[in-house]
Chains A and B, each alone.
Chain A
Amino acid sequence: MESSVQTADAFGPDQPSRLLASGLGWRRRSVNTLMMVLIAGAFALAMIPLFSLIFEVAKRGIPGLSAEFFTEDARGAIGGAGGASHAIMGTLIITAVASVISVPIGIMAAIYLNEYGEGRLRRALTFFVDVMTGIPSIVAGLFAYALFEIFFGPGIRLGVMGSVALSLLMIPIVIRSAEEVLKIVPNHLREAAYALGTPKWKTITKVVLPTAFAGLVTGVMIAIARIVGETAPLLVTTGVVDSMNTDPFNGRMQNLAVYAYNEYRSPGVMKQASYDKAWAAALTLIAIVMILNIAARLVYRRYKTEIR
């Protein structure tokens, strides 16, 4: 780290900062160097877990990956046989249903906040959306359980319960990102539409939303990436099961995150085979999350509306 003072370019190539720096006391200069080293060191330290984690998941996850892992379920599987296709399918279905619930509510609420909202309701919504982002995921799971228990009795486990729990986590993320995107749609577009006599709802659906489309899609993809790996809320709502179930309204449904947890927590006779599967499921999850994140960025870059 350079101990010199950062200079404005206006000073030119003479580098008066060097002159200044040479006049600095030894103490001030070494304090500066020390702090810069500490700050850079802290950043490096914070990055170690990220690289270690990705490296370990890749290293330990690859042995468990096989064609079987993706094509077979774990019904009656013993001695390290069986796959996770039921868990992968469950993750897809539970996440899809959660998105179907969250995206319309989230985007309409964001439209309310940005296009219509005023007064107490708007302030309350803004505040409570912030509060909602802080709800612990396990509490979301308990909420879904308590809700369905009232109608279906104790011990109920359904795929759709998991989707409801995940929706509670997903809605505030969708609202936040959609609101940000709607905010940057320039007002002159709306005014131009109004000037042509377009009613407000048509202005929103035909001008504002298409302009913001890429941003909205990006926000939804990032929200999906956030919830696709949730474990705790599904542990208490969708249950654990070994066979394929594609009906979210009937019976237990497995998913990748709970599958990984279960293979770790109750390994079969061949412990290592179970651990391998847990890591393979973890690797699959990380891959899904990363792909969603990268795709979200690409979508935004490729399809964003240039606003002049």
Chain B
Amino acid sequence: MASVDTTTNAGQLLAAASGGRRRRGDRIFSRTAVLAALTVLLLLAGVAIFLLSEGYPALTASASELPQGKTFLDYVAPLAFGTVLAAALAALVAVPLAVAAALFITHVAPPKIALTLGYLVDLLAAIPSIIYGLWGIFVLGPAAVPVMKWLEEKLGFIPIFEGPASVTGRTMLVVGLVLAVMILPIVSAVAREAFAQAPRRLQEGAQALGATRWEMIRMTVLPFGRSSVISGAMLGLGRALGETMAVTIILSVSGAVTFNLISQANPSTIAANIALNFPESSGLAINALIATGLVLFAITLVTNMGARAIIARANQE
């Protein structure tokens, strides 16, 4: 449609336009594009710079000036521990499920419904995190209480299930499960893309040689998608590290540093700690929270850059 009138326009232009005017238009437009590109880079640099400048006072402050009377390192360490624990738990649960879901969509389900199934998985990513939080505390948490009671009784000898089991469901285990649901679509999307691109020749060859469908998947599809699955897992991990509202709402925090997943006393996470304390804080406490944000930014940055590097290398091969 548009190309039709453009053709005539262009013809007139060619006849009428002086070279100088055309070049000026080009110059303005291309500079605007470069400007937009630079703005984006500047914005990212700005994140680091402003967090650093507003977080710096807390990094240098003495213990007595900071919240809880601890030095910044002592303040952030348990939070970082909680952040990594929750995210690792989520990734541990989500990655196998996501890989299986991706395999189901690409290689097991009838091709006719595969697209719809993929859309359903993507839908999980569209749901706002606040709603996952409400679902976690009102639905999954209460449902998990008897399960955690059972875990304490039967598997209590394992430190992570030591208990005493929470009666409200506001535990690290529930948080990990909710985060797992939240990152599943990301991991699954990356895996799906790779599995769908696995070379057909190899798959057909394997089947021609009499491999079962599982053998075909294990020998041709999985090895092909391995690096994508790893990078997808890291992207999911990065998302789980920074996830705020679900943790803020669900987790009952005490600041304890523990691997115990089913008790009422849990370490908080960096993001949840900010969301819980920022609105009512002032002065140096704000600086301290921003500095913890900087630590979170650094952790997620390293995780994501690692994931991207793996993807880039896999694409080259």
Q: List chain A positions with a Cβ less than 8 A from chain B.
A: 1, 3, 5-8, 20, 24, 28-29, 31-32, 35-36, 38-40, 42-43, 45-47, 49-50, 52-53, 56-57, 60, 104-106, 108-109, 111-113, 115-117, 121-122, 124-125, 127-140, 142-143, 145-147, 149-150, 154-155, 168, 171-172, 175, 189, 192-193, 196-202, 204-207, 210-211, 225-226, 228-232, 235-236, 239-240, 257, 260-261, 264-265, 278-279, 282, 285-286, 289-290, 293, 305
Which residues 205-242 in B have Cβ within 8 Å of A in the complex? 207-208, 210-217, 235, 238-239, 241-242
B residues whose Cβ falls under 8 Å from a Cβ of A:
1-3, 6-7, 9-11, 13-14, 17, 22-23, 25-26, 28-30, 32-41, 43-44, 46-47, 50-51, 53-54, 96-98, 100-101, 103-105, 108-109, 117, 120-121, 123-124, 126-135, 137-140, 181, 184, 188, 204, 207-208, 210-217, 235, 238-239, 241-245, 248-249, 271, 274-275, 278-279, 282-283, 286, 289-290, 293, 296-297, 300-301, 303-305, 308
Please judge, given known A-B contacts A5-B212, A131-B305, A134-B300, whether A260 and B242 are in contact too, CB under 8 Å.
Answer: no
- Complex contacts, A124 vs chain B, CB 8 Å: 41
Rounded to whole Å, the gap between the CB of B286 and the closest CB of chain A is 7
Q: How far is the CA of A163 from the CA of B245 in the complex (A)?
A: 18
Tell me if B29 and A200 are in contact (CB < 8 A).
yes
Q: Which of B26, B212, B215 has the most CB of A within 10 A?
A: B212
The interface residues of chain B lying within 8 Å CB-to-CB of A171 are: 40, 43
Residue of B nearest to A11 (CB): B208
**Could you tell me if B134 and A5 are in contact, using CB atoms closer than 8 angstroms?**
no
Q: A193-B10, A232-B244 are in contact. Are A125 and B41 (CB under 8 A)?
A: yes
Given A53-B127, A143-B46, A282-B131: A42 in contact with B279 (beta carbons within 8 A): no
Chain A min CB distance to B145 (Å): 16
For residue B134, give the distance in angstroms from its CB to the closest CB of chain A.
6
In-complex Cβ contact of A207 among B2, B50, B117, B275 (8 A): B2
* CB <8 Å contact, B34 and A31: no
Across the interface, A289 reaches (CB within 8 A) one of B33, B54, B128, namely: B128
Residues of B within 8 A of A42 (CB): 96-97, 100-101, 104
Contacts of B54 in A (CB 8 A): 142, 145-146, 149-150
Which residues of chain B have C-beta atoms less than 8 A from A264's C-beta? Answer: 134, 137, 249
User: Distance (Å) between the CB of A169 and the closest chain B CB?
Assistant: 11
Q: Say whether A38 contacts B100, CB under 8 Å.
A: yes
Label chain B's interface by main secondary structure: helix
Nearest A residue to B48, CB-CB:
A143
**Known: A138-B296, A175-B40, A230-B128. Is A197-B239 also a contact (CB below 8 A)?**
no
For A205, the chain B residues whose CB sits under 8 A away are: 29
15 A–B pairs (Cβ distance < 8 Å), ordered by A: A8-B204, A31-B214, A39-B100, A43-B105, A109-B36, A112-B37, A140-B47, A147-B46, A200-B26, A205-B29, A210-B1, A231-B130, A235-B278, A261-B133, A289-B128
Q: Looking at the complex, which one of B37, B96, B212, B271 makes contact with A28 (CB distance below 8 Å)?
A: B212
A229 with B34: CB separation less than 8 A: no
Identify A135's interface contact among B103, B208, B300, CB under 8 A: B300
Tell me how far the C-beta of B52 lies from the nearest C-beta in chain A, rounded to whole angstroms.
9
A116 touching B33, Cβ below 8 Å: yes
A189 to B105, CA, bound (A): 36
Contacts A285-B128, A289-B128 given; indicate if A108 touches B32 (C-beta within 8 A): yes
A204: chain B residues within 8 A (beta carbon): 29
- Known contacts: A108-B32, A147-B46. The answer to whether A56 contacts B130 by CB under 8 A is no
Structural contact, A43 and B101, CB atoms closer than 8 A:
yes
- Cα of A1 to Cα of B207 in the assembled complex, Å: 17
Question: Which chain B residue has the least Cβ–Cβ distance from A104?
Answer: B36
Residue of B with least CB distance to A232: B244
